C-alpha cells in the first residue's frame, strides 16, 4: 500500500528531482573518501558530478556570475566611487551622464551606485537564509527519517503545520510582530517558513539511503548511530538538498525583495533592490530607467542561482547521464 | 478509501490547530502588549481597547485566548474589525474577488502550461524545448512585482488593451490582466514540471506497449503519456491554489484589488488581529482540503495507487 501523501509532495521549483535517483550511486565510496590504489578507483557521486560540471558551460557562466556578485556584495567600493546615499534633488530622474552611466533616480541618487550597493542586501539575505534553512530543515528531516516511528510522525506533523501557511503571508505576519526592522528579522522571517521544504527533501533522501548495504555493513561493524548518520548517510543523502538549496537561494532573494517592495522588509536606510524597485513604481511612466536597472540586477542574480541549481542537478542526477 | 479519507481528516486536525496557533501566537503572543502593536502609535480609543481585551482575553494565558477565539470561530463568530464591522462580512466581500482572480490565473496555468510543457517534452532537445526551458527560467527569475508593473504599464496604459486598475466590484474582464500576472510564475513551473515528467515517462513500457498495439499517436500521447505524467503537475496545482489565494498580496496591491491579499495585508500592517487570524484560518482550511483532494486525484490518474 503505497502511501500517496509522500512521494510526489516534495515538488521542487523545477521539480524533476527524485531523491531515489541517488540510490544508484550509493555503492561507491561514501563521501568520496580516497582509496589507496589510484588506478581504477571507484568514482564517487561527487567526483563524477565535478567531472561533469567542469565541462558544463551553464555551470561555468553561472558560477562566474555568482562569484562576481559575491565580490560586488563584499566590496562594493571597488566597483563604484559614488556614495549611494548622496542624493541631489536637482538631478531627479535625469538620464545617463558622465560619471553616472545609469542616470539618477527620483531622489537624485546615482542609480549605478545604488545597484552596486544593493547587491549586498540581496546576497546576504539569500546566503544566510539558505544556510539556516539547510541546517534546520536538514537536521529535522534527517532525524525524522533516521529514527522513524513516533519521532518521525511528530516531526512530520510539525513540518505540515509550517507548510500550511503561505510563505509570504507568514513572513509578513512575523515581521509585523517586531517593532524594529533589520536584516536579521528579515532572515528569520523567511527561515521560519522556509525550512519545511528542506526537511521534506532531506527526509525522503535519507529514507532511500538508510536501507543501503553499506549502512547495514557499518552497523554490523558496530558504528554508533551518530557515526552512521554523519559519515555514511548524510554524504550520500545531501545531494538533493544541495540542488534545492541552490535554486531556493534565488527564490529567497526574490522573497526578500518582495518584502522590501511591500515596505515591511529591510529598513529604508538599507540600500536594496527591492526597496529601489518599490520607489521607482511612481515614476514608471516618466522615467522607466529607474525601475529597469535594479530589476535587471535582481533578475540576473536570481537567474544565476537558478542556472547553477539546474547545472548541479544535471550533474548529480545519474538518470540523465 | 473511506478509512483513508477518515485518517487523513483526523491528521488534518493537529495540523490545522498547529498552523492557526502559530499565526495566533505571531499576532498576539509575541512579547510586549499586543494592544500597543494593534493600535499603532496613536493608541486605541478606550472603547476599542476594552472590546479587544474582552474579545481576545488579553492578560490570560495564550492557550486560553486561543481556545476562546476558536470557540467563537466554530459558531462562525469571527470577531469584529477596528471599525466594528463583523469580520465575516469583510470576508464575504474579499473572498469572491480573490476566488475569481485565482480562477483566472488557474485556468491560464492549465490551458497554457500543460500543452506547452507537453509539446516541449515531446520535442526534447529541439529548438522549441530549449526555448521553453530558457523562457520559463527567465520568467521565474523576474520578480512578480516587476512583471506586474511592466504588464500594467505596457498592456494597460500604453496599448490600452486592459484596464490598468480594477474597480471595486472587480468583474471578470477586469481581472484578466491581474490574473495573467498572478499566474505567470506558476505557469512557468507548470510548463517545466509537465515537460520533465513527459520526458521521464516517454520511454516507459506502457507507452511502448500502447504504440506497439497500433494505437494512434494522439491517443498514446493524451491518454497514456500525459495522464501518467500529471501526478507532479497536479501536486503542484493543488498546493498552488492555497498560494494563489494567500499570495495574491503583491498582485492585488499593484492592481489595487480589494480581495483577500489586499485586505489581509492592510489588516496585518494595522495589527487587526481578528481579521488576520480569521483570514488565515480560512486559508489554512483551503490548503488542507485541496491537499487531500490532490492525494485522492492520484488514484484517478494512476490506478496502481491504492488507498488503505
Q: Beta strands of chain B (E only): which ranges?
A: none
Interface test with B, best of A176, A252, A258, A260 (most B CBs within 10 A): A176
Place of cell 497554457: B112
Contact at 8 Å (CB) between B305 and B299?
yes
CA distances to A57, B124, B209, B296 from B206, in Å: 36, 19, 5, 23
Q: Residue B44 has what pLDDT?
A: 67
> Helix, strand, or coil here: A272?
coil
B33 touches chain A (CB under 8 A): no
The answer to whether the Cβ–Cβ distance between A177 and B239 falls below 8 Å is no
Which stretches of chain B are DSSP H helices? 2-24, 34-39, 46-56, 62-74, 87-108, 114-122, 127-141, 144-151, 176-201, 205-212, 217-219, 227-246, 249-254, 260-270, 273-301
What percentage of chain A has pLDDT greater than the value 90? 20
**B300 vs A: CB within 8 A:** no
Task: Report the C-alpha gap between B9 and A181 in whole angstroms.
Answer: 39
Residue B14 and residue A21: Cα distance in Å, rounded?
Answer: 33
Residues of B in contact with A257 (CB under 8 A): 143, 145
B137 touches chain A (CB under 8 A): yes
Phi then psi dihedrals of residue A97, to 5 deg: -150, 175
pLDDT reading at A15 higher than 70: no
Predicted local confidence at residue A318, as pLDDT: 57
Residue A310 CB partners (closer than 8 Å, separation 6+): A14, A58, A247, B137
The alpha carbon of residue B210 is apart from the nearest alpha carbon of chain A, in Å, by 24
Distance from CA of A287 to the nearest CA of B (A): 12
How far apart (Å, rounded) are the C-alpha atoms in residues A55 and A308?
13
Question: Residue B23 corresponds to which cell in the numbers above?
Answer: 499565526
Looking up cell 510563505, which residue turns up?
A167
Is A166 within 8 Å of B308 when comparing Cβ atoms?
A: no
CA distance B167 to B28: 34
Distance separating alpha carbons of residues B221 and B210, to the nearest angstrom: 9
Predicted pLDDT at B35:
63
Q: Do B178 and B255 contact (CB within 8 A), yes or no? A: yes
* pLDDT tens per residue across span A90-102: 666 676 676 667 7
Q: Testing the interface with A: which of B14, B139, B145 to mutate, by most A Cβ within 10 A? A: B145
Q: Which of A6, A22, A72, A79 is nearest to A236 (CA)?
A: A22
pLDDT band at A42 (very low <50, low <70, confident <90, very high): low
Query: Is residue A140's pLDDT more than 90?
Result: yes
User: Least CB-CB distance to B26: which of A168, A173, A306?
Assistant: A173
Residues 6+ apart with CB under 8 A from A237: A19, A22, A142, A202, A205, A206, A208, A209
pLDDT computed for residue A5 by the predictor: 41
B235 is written with which cell numbers? 501536486
Identify the three-state secondary structure at position A143: helix
Q: Which of residues 39-68 of B touch A (CB under 8 A)?
A: none
Who wins on pLDDT, A46 or A200? A200
Q: How far apart are CA B67 and CA B30, in angstroms?
A: 17
Question: In A148-238, where does DSSP find H-type helix?
Answer: 149-163, 167-176, 183-210, 213-220, 225-227, 234-237
Q: Does A292 touch chain B (CB under 8 A)?
A: no
Q: How many Å apart are CA B304 and CA A1, to the nearest integer?
A: 10
User: Three-state DSSP class for A221?
Assistant: coil
Q: What is the C-alpha separation between A316 and B170, in angstroms, rounded?
A: 48
List, as ranges, residues 211-240 from B with C-beta within 8 Å of A: 231-232, 235-236, 239
For residue B271, give the nearest of A2, A5, A176 by CB distance: A176
B192 inside 8 A of chain A by CB: yes
Which of B16, B141, B276 is nearest residue A173 as measured by Cβ atoms? B276
Name the residue among B299, B187, B300 with its Cα closest to residue B233.
B187
Say yes or no: ipTM exceeds 0.95: no
Q: One digit per residue, pLDDT tens: chain B, 308 residues?
A: 788 888 888 888 989 999 988 888 888 766 556 566 566 556 667 777 777 777 666 667 778 878 888 888 888 777 777 777 888 888 888 888 888 899 999 999 999 999 999 999 999 888 999 899 889 988 888 888 888 888 888 887 777 787 777 777 767 878 888 898 899 988 999 999 999 899 888 888 888 898 899 888 888 888 888 888 888 898 888 888 877 877 688 888 888 888 888 888 888 887 777 888 888 888 888 888 888 888 888 888 877 777 65
Amino acid at each position: 500500500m503505497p502511501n500517496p501523501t509522500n512521494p510526489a509532495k516534495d515538488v521542487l521549483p523545477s521539480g524533476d528531482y527524485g531523491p531515489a535517483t541517488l540510490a544508484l550511486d550509493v555503492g561507491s565510496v561514501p563521501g568520496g573518501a580516497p582509496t589507496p590504489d589510484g588506478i581504477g578507483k571507484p568514482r564517487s557521486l561527487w567526483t563524477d558530478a565535478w567531472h561533469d560540471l567542469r565541462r558544463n558551460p551553464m555551470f561555468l557562466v553561472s558560477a562566474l556570475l555568482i562569484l562576481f556578485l559575491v565580490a560586488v556584495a563584499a566590496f562594493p567600493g571597488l566597483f563604484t566611487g559614488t556614495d549611494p546615499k548622496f542624493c541631489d534633488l536637482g538631478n531627479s530622474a535625469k538620464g545617463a551622464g558622465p560619471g553616472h552611466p545609469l542616470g539618477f533616480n527620483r531622489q537624485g541618487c546615482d542609480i549605478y551606485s545604488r545597484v552596486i550597493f544593493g547587491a549586498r542586501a540581496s546576497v546576504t539575505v539569500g546566503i544566510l537564509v539558505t544556510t539556516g534553512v539547510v541546517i534546520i530543515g536538514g537536521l529535522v528531516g534527517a532525524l525524522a527519517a533516521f529514527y522513524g516511528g513516533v519521532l518521525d510522525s511528530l516531526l512530520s506533523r510539525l513540518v505540515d503545520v509550517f507548510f500550511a501557511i503561505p510563505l509570504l503571508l507568514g513572513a509578513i505576519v512575523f515581521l509585523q510582530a517586531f517593532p524594529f526592522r533589520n536584516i536579521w528579522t528579515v532572515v528569520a522571517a523567511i527561515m521560519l517558513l522556509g525550512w519545511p521544504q528542506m526537511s521534506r527533501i532531506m527526509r525522503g533522501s535519507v529514507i532511500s539511503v538508510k536501507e543501503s548495504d553499506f549502512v547495514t555493513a557499518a552497523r554490523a561493524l558496530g558504528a554508533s548511530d551518530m557515526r552512521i548518520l554523519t559519515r555514511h548517510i548524510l554524504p550520500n543523502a545531501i545531494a538533493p538538498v544541495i540542488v534545492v538549496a541552490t535554486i531556493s537561494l534565488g527564490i529567497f532573494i526574490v522573497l526578500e525583495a518582495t518584502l522590501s517592495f511591500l515596505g515591511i522588509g529591510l529598513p529604508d536606510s538599507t540600500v536594496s533592490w527591492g526597496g529601489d524597485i518599490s520607489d521607482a513604481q511612481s515614476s514608471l511612466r516618466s522615467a522607466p530607467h529607474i525601475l529597469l536597472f535594479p530589476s535587471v540586477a535582481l533578475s540576473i542574480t536570481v537567474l544565476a542561482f537558478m542556472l547553477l541549481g539546474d547545472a548541479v542537478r544535471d550533474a548529480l542526477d545519474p538518470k540523465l547521464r | 478509501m473511506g478509512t483513508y479519507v477518515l485518517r487523513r481528516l483526523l491528521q488534518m486536525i493537529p495540523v490545522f490547530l498547529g498552523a492557526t496557533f502559530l499565526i495566533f501566537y505571531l499576532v498576539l503572543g509575541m512579547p510586549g502588549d499586543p494592544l500597543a502593536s494593534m493600535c499603532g502609535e496613536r493608541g486605541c480609543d478606550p472603547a476599542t481597547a476594552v472590546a479587544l481585551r474582552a474579545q481576545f482575553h488579553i492578560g490570560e494565558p495564550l492557550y486560553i485566548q486561543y481556545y476562546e477565539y476558536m470557540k467563537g470561530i466554530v459558531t462562525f463568530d469571527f470577531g469584529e474589525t477596528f471599525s466594528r464591522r463583523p469580520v465575516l462580512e469583510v470576508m464575504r466581500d474579499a473572498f469572491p474577488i480573490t476566488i475569481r482572480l485565482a480562477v483566472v490565473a488557474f485556468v491560464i496555468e492549465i490551458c497554457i502550461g500543460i500543452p506547452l510543457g507537453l509539446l516541449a517534452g515531446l520535442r526534447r532537445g529541439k529548438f522549441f524545448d530549449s526555448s521553453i526551458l530558457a523562457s520559463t527560467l527567465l520568467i521565474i527569475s523576474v520578480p512578480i512585482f516587476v512583471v506586474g508593473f511592466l504588464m500594467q504599464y505596457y498592456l494597460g496604459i500604453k496599448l490600452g488593451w486592459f484596464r490598468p486598475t480594477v474597480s471595486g466590484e472587480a468583474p471578470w474582464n477586469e481581472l484578466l490582466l491581474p490574473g495573467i500576472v498572478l499566474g505567470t510564475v506558476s505557469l512557468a513551473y507548470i510548463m517545466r514540471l509537465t515537460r520533465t515528467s513527459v520526458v521521464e515517462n516517454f520511454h516507459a513500457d506502457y507507452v511502448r506497449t500502447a504504440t506497439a498495439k497500433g494505437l494512434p499517436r494522439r491517443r498514446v500521447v493524451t491518454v497514456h503519456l500525459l495522464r501518467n505524467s500529471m501526478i507532479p503537475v497536479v501536486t503542484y496545482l493543488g498546493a498552488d491554489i492555497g498560494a494563489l489565494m494567500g499570495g495574491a498580496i503583491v498582485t492585488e496591491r499593484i492592481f489595487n484589488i480589494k480581495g483577500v491579499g489586499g485586505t489581509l495585508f492592510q489588516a496585518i500592517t494595522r495589527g487587526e488581529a481578528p481579521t488576520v487570524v480569521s483570514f488565515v484560518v480560512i486559508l489554512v482550511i483551503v490548503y488542507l482540503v485541496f491537499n487531500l483532494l490532490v492525494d485522492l486525484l492520484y488514484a484517478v490518474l494512476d490506478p496502481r495507487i491504492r488507498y488503505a
